[in-house]
């Protein structure tokens, strides 16, 4: 449990992914280092940015390279075997490569379907990422109403269905032109047939009613609407998701042992495991929400006046006294009335060269208070936690009328959650 909670506490919500060959799906808790500024991939590691659509950053995780390679090689091998006589190896592999790229473009469109509907109903979308199990859209919060949940969830599979129909139309069109001496229409027809089929598989796989798949989200929306309880709906959808995940794992093991399908079987096991951890993390997340909702920031804030400094203090002092001696990583710059003026973290301190530390004043390098996310003593820890995630920071200054009372940290929230979970069981 503690591992789940710490993962959830360091991540944001995500919407289901999709996949294709041989399937794909969703994720709920990328281990993320909250104070890192570099772009971390789904499992950590690198990811690359492709561009932005409607304010949503589209990225490719390094693990995607594996599935892209597998899809391309598997398609190329099949096309090569089927057209040993009439297609040159160049045509075979160019077709496999282009079709595979179009397939992953289809996955991005599937996620964009979710994302654009989410934006329509007022849920902000942080990013869309292609990774080893398909794609995933990261939403900043849960939908507020059952209807929104259902609409967002249905949009993805709907896009996949439309793509399947479109590719099937193209395939029909070009099949009619077959017989052309160049053979080009046949190549297009064949690639389009594959794309139509695989988009259809993506649509069908994702409507399986097990959370966190799209169908599981629809189920949650329906149960939520029927019972009025988001918590109960999540539990039902996650239980059904776990059942489906175990089924996939069982099928995977069976096909490795008895079907001699080593790669396909292992793939099913991985996807099942992945779904299972996502379903569990979602239930964990909900528990956390229930706990943090009940606690006020005033009760858990930490007040460490060693970390409070005046704007005129020198950077050198902070480094030698605060960082070296007391192991502090964040300093709060306050005036004589304890009004917060800004903060200085190790990041700002590290920008000052050793020679300049004795001359540089803290106020010259601080991040001003206006540019900071803050919280107030009366706020619920859940709301404050969401702000931590949204701003991707480790702590929030707690202010009352601009006066600094202390700080709310992720570590402290985690400790609160763990303590309450322990008391429960």
What is the footprint of Zn ion within residues 115-154 (CB under 5 A)? none
Looking at the Cβ atoms of 154 and 287, the one nearer to Zn ion is: 154
Interface with Zn ion, residue 214, by CB under 5 A: yes
Give the nearest distance from C-beta 223 to Zn ion in angstroms: 19
Residue choice 5, 7, 10, 16 for contact with Zn ion (CB under 5 A): 16
Give the nearest distance from C-beta 359 to Zn ion in angstroms: 56
Instruction: Round the CA-based radius of gyration of the chain to a whole number and report it.
Output: 26
CA–CA distance, 55 with 391 (Å, rounded to integer): 17
Listed ranges 15-23, 28-36, 119-127, 139-147: which one lies at the site for Zn ion (CB under 5 A): 15-23
What is the footprint of Zn ion within residues 228-257 (CB under 5 A)? none
b/e sequence 358-372, b meaning 16+ C-beta within 10 Å: eebebbebbeebeeb
Strands 14-15 and 125-131: unpaired
Contacts with Zn ion, 18-37, as mask; x by CB under 5 A: x-------------------
Looking at the Cβ atoms of 142 and 214, the one nearer to Zn ion is: 214
Listed ranges 12-20, 30-38, 336-344, 404-412: which one lies at the site for Zn ion (CB under 5 A): 12-20
Q: For Zn ion, how many residues bind (rule: CB under 5 A)?
A: 5
Give the nearest distance from C-beta 137 to Zn ion in angstroms: 8
Give the nearest distance from C-beta 131 to Zn ion in angstroms: 14
Sign of CA dihedral 199, 201, 205, 208: positive
Give the nearest distance from C-beta 213 to Zn ion in angstroms: 7
What is the footprint of Zn ion within residues 143-202 (CB under 5 A)? 156
Residue whose C-beta lies closest to Zn ion: 156
Give the nearest distance from C-beta 13 to Zn ion in angstroms: 14
Query: Applying CB under 5 A, which residues contact Zn ion?
Result: 16, 18, 156, 206, 214
């Amino acid at each position: 449990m503690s591992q789940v909670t710490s993962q959830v506490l360091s991540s944001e919500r995500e919407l289901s992914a999709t996949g294709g060959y041989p399937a794909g799906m969703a994720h709920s808790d990328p281990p993320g280092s909250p104070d890192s500024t570099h772009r971390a991939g789904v499992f950590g590691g690198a990811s690359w940015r492709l561009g932005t659509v409607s304010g949503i950053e589209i990225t490719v995780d390094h693990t995607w390279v594996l599935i892209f390679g597998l899809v391309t090689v598997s398609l190329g091998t099949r096309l090569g075997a089927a057209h040993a006589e009439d297609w040159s190896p160049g045509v075979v592999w160019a077709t496999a490569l282009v079709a595979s790229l179009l397939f992953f473009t289809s996955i991005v469109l599937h996620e964009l379907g979710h994302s654009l509907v989410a934006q329509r109903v007022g849920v902000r979308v942080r990013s869309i990422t292609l990774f080893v199990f398909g794609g995933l859209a990261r939403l900043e919060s849960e939908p507020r109403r059952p209807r929104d949940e259902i609409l967002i969830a249905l949009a993805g599979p709907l896009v996949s269905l439309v793509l399947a129909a479109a590719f099937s139309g193209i395939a029909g069109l070009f099949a009619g032109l077959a017989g052309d001496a160049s053979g080009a229409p046949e190549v297009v027809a064949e690639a389009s047939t594959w794309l139509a089929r695989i988009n259809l598989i993506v649509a069908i796989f994702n409507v399986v009613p097990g959370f966190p798949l799209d169908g599981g989200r629809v189920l949650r929306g329906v149960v939520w609407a029927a019972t009025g309880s988001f918590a109960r709906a999540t539990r039902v959808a996650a239980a059904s998701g776990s059942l489906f995940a175990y089924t996939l794992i069982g099928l995977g093991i069976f096909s490795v042992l008895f079907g001699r399908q080593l790669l396909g079987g292992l793939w099913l096991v991985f996807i099942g495991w992945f779904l299972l951890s996502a379903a569990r993390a979602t239930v964990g997340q909900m528990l956390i929400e229930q706990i943090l909702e009940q606690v006020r920031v005033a009760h858990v804030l930490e007040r460490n006046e060693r970390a409070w400094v005046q704007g005129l203090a020198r950077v050198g002092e902070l480094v030698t006294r605060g960082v070296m001696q007391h192991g502090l990583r964040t300093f709060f710059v306050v005036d004589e009335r304890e009004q917060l003026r800004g903060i200085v973290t190790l990041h700002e301190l590290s920008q000052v060269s050793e020679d300049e530390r004795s001359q540089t004043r803290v106020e010259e390098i601080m991040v001003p208070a206006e540019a900071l996310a803050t919280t107030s003593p009366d706020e619920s820890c859940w709301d404050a936690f969401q702000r931590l995630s949204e701003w991707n920071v480790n702590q929030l200054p707690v202010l009352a009328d601009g006066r600094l009372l202390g700080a709310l940290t992720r570590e402290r929230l985690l400790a609160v959650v763990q303590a309450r979970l322990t008391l429960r069981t």
